[in-house]
Structure formats: structure tokens, C-alpha cells
A and B are shown apart, each in its own frame.
Chain A
Amino acid sequence: MKAFLSSVLAGLFMLLSPVIDAQVFITNDMLPLEITESGLYVVAEPLNFTSAGDAILVTANQVTLDLNGFTLTGIREGAAITQSLGHQGLVVRNGYLDSWGINAAFGTAIMAEGANNEFSDLHIRSSRGGIFAGANSLVSDCYITGITNNTSSYGLNMEGNSRVLGTLVDRVVAPTSYGIVGAGNVLVERSIVHNIGIGGTTAQAYGIALNSGRVKDSIVSQVFGGDSAYGVFSLSDLKLSSSSITQISSADEGYGARAFAALEIVHSVIGSISAGPDGDSVNIANGARVSESVVRQSDNIGLRVGSRSRVEHSVLGRFTGDEPAILLTGHDSRIEGNLITESHAAVFALPSGTNNIVIRNASFDNTFSFSTPANHIANTLVSPGIDFNHATQQYYYENIRW
């Protein structure tokens, strides 16, 4: 029996040995290292790269790099790990990347210009840039902190069709700062972006900036840009759900959320915006929807609404400038069932804001309540109650003013 077991174990070893043989252990004396073949590469000791250039250059497909809990440190120009353009399937996991490019003119922790990559369980700290992830890539369970640059930098830079899950980006400090910047169709989920930007007079800061995508179950807080600051920004379609966007501050243009195409905000909190003269808590273009959310506290407009949009069943309040909680700039929008408090005005329509419906909202403790929407066919209410048949305020159309 013992002989039989021994022969079985020997057979298993023979079967597994090619896999074991495929592992390559990386030691400090191998740097700089170019990986030209697919396989599993495991860091065997702390790596300290003191030369200029990339520590590890990947020029093959399907390369897995396991940092094995060790730290890869480098302080000069270059990246800890670079994947050259045209390659794919790079996996980097389980370790620390420290001080990449921090004292140099350029450099970043990971520069993956290929595609279909995966980065997980990484802690990147005190570097000039975070992760450039390539297209169709996944970043998960990473912690990126202390990104410092004298021009422009990011915690994460995601190419199109990529995902960010369970990741924390904290402290990106540059004249143009991005917590997470992405191309089209990028999903950010269960992540936190915190303390982005430097707040100088010409500085721009973005918590999350995407061409298009979705932000879900995430938190963005403390974004500081003297020239402009955006909690969440999109050039095209964006859905923001179950997320919190707070403490966005700019001396000129501060926005909690802004999208240049369809923006949908559901079950989210957007608040504490120092918007400056040109910013809004939420700036929605045409065809947008804000539903069941809280938008509060800004020194400028709460919601700037374009055409064909809906703002419904939300709480808006504490807009302390001489601006309204909701500003209607376009046509055919519907403002329904909102509670609007403690602002200069609840709803105000610009002369361009025609053919909108403002219905079943409540205005409480606002200096002015509802302006008369142009082209609005008023339904004069005659039900009991002094606020329903007011002689000069018959245009309320099932709105209530307390």
C-alpha cells in the first residue's frame, strides 16, 4: 500500500512539475527585467530599483506577476511595471509599489498600455502616478494613496470598457488631479475617492471623470480645485446610483455632478458644494433624470436643468446664494414631488425655460417659491385650504408653499 501511494504521489509530482517549473522567481539582481514569455512570475524578496527606467517591462501576453506581499520601490524616472502597447492579459497582484517617480520628472507605478489586464490587492503609495490600466481591464481591491505630481496625475486611468471595484484612491495632489479618469463604458463600484486636488487658483480637480459609464455604491469626497472642481464628471452618458458626492470646492466652478449628455442620478447624496460663481451642485443636460436623491448645501444653484429632464421625489435645500434650488433653462422638463427648503428660491425658470411642468412639490422656508413657468397652463385649485386658492398664486398647480 505504501509503495502504491508513493508511486501515485510521484506521478502527481511529475504531472505538476511543468507548472512549478513555469514559475520564475524575481530577485533584486534581475532588475531591470524584461518579461518576454507568458507565465507566472513571483517576487521572491523586496525589490529596490535605483536606476532610471522601468523596473519590469512586459512584452508578452498572459503574464501573471505576483508581488508575493513584497514591496517594489523606485524613486527615479520610470515605472515599476510597464506593459508595452499591443500586449494583453497582464495580471499584477498582491503587493506594494512605493515611491515611483516621486523625485523625478516622470514616472508612475503601473503603465499598462495593452488590454485585458487585471490588477488586484495592490497598495500603491507615494508615487507620481497610480495605475494606467489599459482597455477592458479590471482594478479591484487596491489602495492608492499619496499621488503627487507637478503637472497632471491620476490615481487610476482606465481605458474603455473597464471596471474598478472595491478600490480606494486617496490624496492625488497635482495642478490637474484625477482620482479616477476613464474612457467610455467604465464602471466604478464599491469604491472611494477622497482628497483630490490642491486648490490653487489655476488648479483643476476631478473625483471621477469618465467619457461615459456608471458610478455605483461609491463615495467621492473632498475634491479641491481653484479653477474647477468636479465630484463626478462625464462627457457623455453617466449613471450615478447609491453614491455620495460631498465636499467639492472651487473658487470658480465647482460641481457635484456634471454630464454633457444624459445623466441619471438615483438614490444618491450630493452635498456641501462650494461652487463659486459658475458652478452648480448638479448640472444636467438634456434628457436627464434625478430621482429620490438628496442635493443640498451650496453657495450657488442646486440643479441646473436642461430640456426633457425629470427631477422627482428628491430633497433639495440650503442653497444660500441668490440662486434657486432648481433652475429651468430649457423646455419640456418635469419637476415633480420634490421637497425644497431653505433656499433663495425653490424653482425658477429662465425666459428660455418654457413648457415645463412643476407639480406636487413642496417649498418650505424659501425666500421665493415657484416662478411662473412660461407657457404653463395653470390649473387653478379650488380645494379648501388657503394655499390652494390663493388669489395671486394660482399657478402653483398642486404645489404647496408653507
Chain B
Amino acid sequence: MGVVAQDSLLHRINLHNSVGSAWRGIDVTRSWLGDSRVSTVSPNSPQGIVANSSMVVRNVVDGGYVNVLGTGSLLPHNQVVNSGFQPFQQPAGGRNMAYRNTASTTAGNMISNPHHARVESYPGVNFISTNNPWGNIRH
């Protein structure tokens, strides 16, 4: 576990982990997390960011994924790379909004269990996906 915070604002954090099992990088609840970078080379389900009812904006998750717990999170303008996992994961029925994120070298759909999907109709294969809600891009 790297950083755990509730009702807080976290800005410009750089966190790296080389090993770990189900490692959690930055775990936030009812908080604002932005402009941070979390990286890991652990292959064992590393959760770069864990978000619960929080705003998570403009972060880079390199090697892990974003685990969205509970409900009520906004996750715009993040980048998830090199994880091999589904970039944004939430439980079935999770009510969160992720938009205008990018992901590369990841696996599966942009977001698991999308709830409030809005299908963008712009040209380009990256935009036409029923699992690609509201302006997210998956390369």
C-alpha cells in the first residue's frame, strides 16, 4: 500500500512499486487525486489507483489499473498504460463516470460493467464501441 487518504486532496504524487501482490498504490475515498503518476512492474494484479466516491483526474497509471470501488467517482483525463489488465474496473452495478481517458497496452474493454454508457458517434474505430463510454479512447 502506498498512500491511503479520505476526504483529502492529493496532488503531484509520484509513486513506484516493483513487487507486491494485489498492491494498492494510491487509495482514495471522498477525495481529489490529480496530476500524479503511479508505476509498477508487478504482474500480480496491481491496483495503481483505488477510487471510492472520488475525483481522479489527469493521472498516469503505468503497469497497473484503476480499481473503482463503490459509487460516485469521476475519472476524467487519466492515462493507463502497460498493465495488461482492463484499465478501469468496477463491480457490477457500479455507478461511476470515466470519460476522456486513454489506455494503451491494456486488455479488455475500457471499463468493466459500464453503467451509464453514452456511445460517441464520431468517426474512427476508437470511438465506436459500446464499452467505450463518453469520450474515452482506448488505443
Instruction: Name the segment of B13-21, B37-45, B50-58 touching the other chain.
Output: B50-58
Please, which residues of chain B bring their CB within 8 A of the CB of A341? 30, 53, 72
A364 at the interface (CB under 8 A from B): yes
Q: Interface on A for B, CB 8 Å cutoff?
A: 242, 244, 267-269, 271, 292-294, 296-297, 313-315, 317-318, 337, 339, 341, 362, 364-365, 381, 383-385, 387-388, 400, 402
A364 engages B53 (CB within 8 Å):
yes
B95 engages A294 (CB within 8 Å):
no
CB distance from B115 to the nearest CB of A (A): 8
29 A/B residue pairs, CB under 8 Å, sorted by A: A244-B9, A269-B7, A271-B7, A292-B57, A293-B9, A294-B31, A294-B32, A296-B30, A297-B7, A314-B32, A314-B55, A315-B30, A315-B31, A315-B55, A317-B30, A318-B30, A339-B53, A339-B54, A339-B73, A339-B74, A341-B53, A364-B72, A384-B117, A384-B119, A385-B118, A388-B116, A388-B118, A402-B71, A402-B95
Kindly identify which residue among A244, A337, A400 contacts B76, using a CB–CB cutoff of 8 Å.
Answer: A337
Please, which residues of chain B bring their CB within 8 A of the CB of A242? 11
Interface of B is mostly: loop
Please, which residues of chain A bring their CB within 8 A of the CB of B117? 384-385
Number of chain B residues close to chain A: CB under 8 A: 23
Given known contacts A294-B32, A341-B30, A313 and B72 CB-to-CB distance under 8 angstroms: no
What is the bound-complex CA distance between A381 and B120, given in angstroms?
A: 12
A-B contact count (CB 8 A): 74
Given known contacts A362-B74, A402-B71, A293 and B32 CB-to-CB distance under 8 angstroms: yes
Kindly identify which residue among A313, A314, A400 contacts B97, using a CB–CB cutoff of 8 Å.
Answer: A400
Nearest-neighbor residue (CB-CB) of B99 within chain A: A360
Please, which residues of chain B bring their CB within 8 A of the CB of A364? 53, 71-72, 95
Please, which residues of chain A bring their CB within 8 A of the CB of B64? none
A400 engages B32 (CB within 8 Å):
no
Q: Interface on B for A, CB 8 Å cutoff?
A: 7-9, 11, 30-32, 34, 53-55, 57, 71-74, 76, 95, 97, 116-119
A294 engages B8 (CB within 8 Å):
yes
Please, which residues of chain A bring their CB within 8 A of the CB of B57? 292, 313
What is the bound-complex CA distance between A70 and B54, given in angstroms?
A: 50
Q: Taking A269-B7, A365-B71 as given, write out 4 further A-B residue pairs in contact, using a Cβ cutoff of 8 Å, ordered by the A residue number.
A: A267-B9, A292-B57, A313-B57, A384-B118
Please, which residues of chain A bring their CB within 8 A of the CB of B119? 383-384
Nearest-neighbor residue (CB-CB) of B70 within chain A: A364
Please, which residues of chain A bring their CB within 8 A of the CB of B54? 315, 339
CB distance from B33 to the nearest CB of A (A): 10
Nearest-neighbor residue (CB-CB) of B120 within chain A: A383
Please, which residues of chain B bring their CB within 8 A of the CB of A293? 9, 32
Please, which residues of chain B bring their CB within 8 A of the CB of A337? 74, 76
Please, which residues of chain B bring their CB within 8 A of the CB of A385? 116-118
Kindly identify which residue among B7, B8, B30, B116 contacts A400, using a CB–CB cutoff of 8 Å.
Answer: B116
What is the bound-complex CA distance between A49 and B117, given in angstroms?
A: 75
A269 engages B72 (CB within 8 Å):
no
